[in-house]
């Protein structure tokens, strides 16, 4: 007999209902996502060329970059082919679920029925015991086995005398895999919403400046935030006396309708969140004109009185309790000394900030030198006075990543649904138990327990065995 030829629709349905297709699509999404993680998305070519140079060498890096760029890997999550993978995977998941759901739904919702005695030998869990008394007399004892397993049995009479108890629990756990499928779809929908309707931008905000816009990482266009963000201060903390940054933080203020509504100190793993936007600390740098900066000093005179002074380069201050005047002559963001003792600036970052100050009395020069922020011994002056460099404010900017993802709540919801689905799929089971209670005609009752479980069968068998052992023990005590 020839097989009936399938229509195009049937073949297409079978194609998308294939587990093999799901494996292939998942592998493609996973492997391309690895590349998209290694390659920084929408970054400058220089950054990714450095990454590729470390991975495959400087000779192959330019060619690899051009190839990856032509394939869309520099903005992978917006590429047509990646979105196509996601859509195909979603369709495959939906059709796989629809194709297999009717059978599983029937198993999950079908009420349990009395078992035909002919099927007793085929049960994976089976135990037969003999109790003294009539079937009606041992009913409560047999029911105690069901109750100890959390089952509420139904009762059905048996021909020739006796009865049958039967119950099931956890039928809905068979749907755990479909709950997990639903969670994947919810997460994917949230991710796609974030990709196409979210905002991924940056904002380089100098100390003391306020901005009501951020800039799109891909196009560079200004994006109105609907409120303003001000950088009140920025600071870098180093490991000991090294030049390796340990942490960098920004003091930010959110301003809306002319009113300060939120203040937050952000660090690398402590972002600012406001009205769906998230501001991450990602980088920092120096402004081109450091002469606009304000030097903050703590000046202590001979009587121990300390004053805080704020001055720009070229301005002067007086040490309290004296007529000694300090004039700020120069500033270096990273001061070093060569072998001949001459000072020079080795970096345009604030790695070792220092201010050169000349001191005079009644117009007569006394001494001069560099006051270094990170070296307290340079704060002590020859005459016993003290000038501490606190900060050079207004010359650095904080580099912020700005994100708004309207689909993130769907991603979180999908994760919650997935946790529930995985727990029900792997740690819960659909278990069934029958007890056939019959008389042997000699004032004894034969009880045959039969059970099954769709997973964790041995664990369920052990629990049934334990409950039956307790029943036998109690019967002997009586």
Beta carbons within 8 Å of 356's beta carbon, 6+ residues apart: 328, 329, 330, 331, 332, 368, 369, 370, 371
CB distance 64 to 56 below 8 Å: yes
Q: How far is CA 213 from CA 397, 408, 474, in A?
A: 16, 22, 77
Beta carbons within 8 Å of 12's beta carbon, 6+ residues apart: none
pLDDT for position 120: 82
pLDDT for position 38: 87
CATH number of 111-170+429-477: 3.30.310.80
Question: Pick the residue with more confidence: 253 or 47?
Answer: 253
Residue 3: pLDDT band by 50, 70, 90 thresholds?
low
pLDDT for position 381: 94
Distance CA 175, CA 180 (A): 9
pLDDT for position 43: 77
CB distance 151 to 433 below 8 Å: yes
Assess whether pLDDT exceeds 80 at residue 430: yes
Assess whether pLDDT exceeds 90 at residue 240: no
Distance CA 388, CA 407 (A): 50
Assess whether pLDDT exceeds 70 at residue 323: yes
Tokens 């015991």, residue? 129
3-state secondary structure the chain: CCCCCCCHHHHHHHHHCCHHHHHHHHHHHHHHHHHHHHCCCCCCHHHHHHHHHHHHCCCCHHHHHHHHHHCCHHHHHHCHHHHHHHHHHHHHHHHHHHHHHHHHHHHHHCCCCCCCHHHHHHCCEEEEEEEECCCCCCHHHHHHHHHHCCCCCEEEECCCCCEEEEEEECHHHHHHHHHHHHHHHHHHHHHHHHHHHCEEEEEEEECCCEEEEEEECCCCCEEEEEEEEEEEEEEEEECCCCCCEEEEEEEEEEEECCEEEEEEEEECCECEEECCEEEEEEEEEECCCHHHCEEEEEEECCCCCEEEEEECCCCEEECCCCCEEEEEEEEECEEEECCCCCEEECCCCCCECEEEEEEEECCEEEEEEEEECCCHHHHECCCCCEEEEEEEECCEEEEEEEEECCCHHHHHHHHHHHHHHHHHHHHCCCEEEEEEEEECCCCEEEEEEEEEECCCHHHHHHHHHHHHHHHHHHHHHC
Distance CA 227, CA 275 (A): 9
Whole-number percent of the chain with pLDDT over 70 = 99
Distance CA 327, CA 329 (A): 6
Tokens 């917006």, residue? 78
Distance CA 193, CA 29 (A): 18
Mean pLDDT, rounded, for 57-71: 90
Assess whether pLDDT exceeds 70 at residue 28: yes
pLDDT for position 1: 45
pLDDT for position 4: 65
Assess whether pLDDT exceeds 50 at residue 5: yes
Distance CA 246, CA 248 (A): 7
Phi, psi of 301 (to 5 degrees): -95, -170
Question: Pick the residue with more confidence: 4 or 142?
Answer: 142
User: What are the tens digits of pLDDT across the range 197-234?
Assistant: 899 999 999 999 999 999 998 888 999 999 999 999 99
Of the listed ranges 85-89, 151-155, 178-182, 286-290, the least confidently predicted one is 286-290
Domain-wise residue ranges, the chain: 9-103, 111-170+429-477, 186-288+397-419, 290-395
Task: Record the tokens describing residue 426, joined without a space.
Answer: 């792997």
Tokens 């600071």, residue? 235
Closest to 333 in 3D by CA, of 355, 353, 319: 353
- Mean pLDDT (the chain, rounded): 91
Query: How many degrees, rounded to 5, is the angle at CA 323 between CA 322 and CA 325?
Result: 110
Distance CA 440, CA 25 (A): 61
Distance CA 235, CA 395 (A): 11
Task: Record the tokens describing residue 24, joined without a space.
Answer: 């292939």
């Amino acid at each position: 007999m020839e097989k009936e030829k399938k229509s195009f629709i049937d073949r297409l349905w079978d194609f998308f209902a294939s587990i093999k297709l799901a494996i292939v699509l998942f592998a493609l999404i996973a492997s391309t996502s690895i590349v998209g993680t290694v390659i920084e998305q929408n970054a400058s070519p220089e950054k990714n060329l450095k990454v590729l140079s470390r991975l495959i060498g400087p000779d192959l890096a330019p060619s690899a970059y051009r190839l990856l760029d032509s394939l869309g890997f520099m903005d992978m999550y917006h590429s047509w082919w990646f979105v196509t993978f996601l859509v195909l995977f979603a369709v495959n998941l939906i059709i796989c679920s629809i194709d297999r759901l009717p059978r599983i739904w029937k198993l999950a919702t079908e009420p349990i029925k009395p078992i035909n005695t002919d099927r007793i030998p085929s049960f994976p869990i089976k135990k037969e015991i003999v109790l003294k008394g009539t079937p009606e007399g041992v009913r409560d004892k047999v029911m105690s086995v069901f109750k100890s397993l959390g089952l509420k049995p139904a009762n059905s009479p048996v021909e020739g005398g006796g009865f049958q108890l039967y119950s099931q629990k956890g039928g809905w756990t068979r749907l755990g895999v479909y709950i997990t499928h639903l969670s994947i779809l919810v997460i994917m929908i949230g991710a796609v919403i974030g990709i196409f309707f979210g905002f991924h931008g940056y904002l380089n905000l100098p100390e003391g400046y306020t901005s009501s816009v951020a800039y799109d990482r891909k196009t560079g266009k200004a994006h109105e935030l609907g409120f303003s963000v001000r950088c009140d201060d920025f600071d870098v903390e180093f490991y000991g006396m090294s030049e390796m940054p340990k942490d960098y933080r920004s003091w930010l203020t959110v301003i809306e309708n002319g009113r300060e509504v939120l203040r937050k100190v952000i660090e690398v793993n402590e972002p600012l969140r406001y009205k769906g936007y998230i501001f991450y600390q990602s980088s920092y740098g120096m402004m081109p004109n450091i002469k606009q900066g304000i030097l903050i000093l703590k000046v202590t005179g001979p009587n121990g009185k300390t004053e805080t002074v704020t001055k720009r380069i070229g301005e002067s201050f007086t040490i309290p309790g004296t007529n000694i005047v300090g004039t700020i002559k120069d500033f270096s963001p990273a001061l070093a000394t060569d072998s001949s003792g001459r000072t020079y600036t080795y970096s345009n970052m604030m790695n070792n900030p220092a201010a050169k100050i000349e001191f005079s009395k009644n117009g007569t020069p006394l001494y001069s030198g560099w006051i270094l922020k990170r070296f307290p011994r340079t704060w002590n002056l020859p005459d016993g006075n003290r000038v501490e460099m606190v900060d050079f404010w207004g010359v650095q900017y904080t580099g912020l990543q700005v994100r708004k993802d309207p689909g993130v709540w769907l991603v979180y919801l999908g994760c919650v649904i997935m946790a529930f689905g995985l727990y029900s799929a792997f740690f819960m089971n659909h278990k069934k138990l029958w007890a056939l209670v019959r008389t042997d005609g000699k004032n004894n009752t034969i009880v045959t327990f039969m059970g099954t479980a769709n997973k964790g069968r041995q664990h369920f068998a052990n629990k049934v065995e334990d409950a039956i052992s307790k029943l036998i023990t109690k019967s002997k005590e009586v």
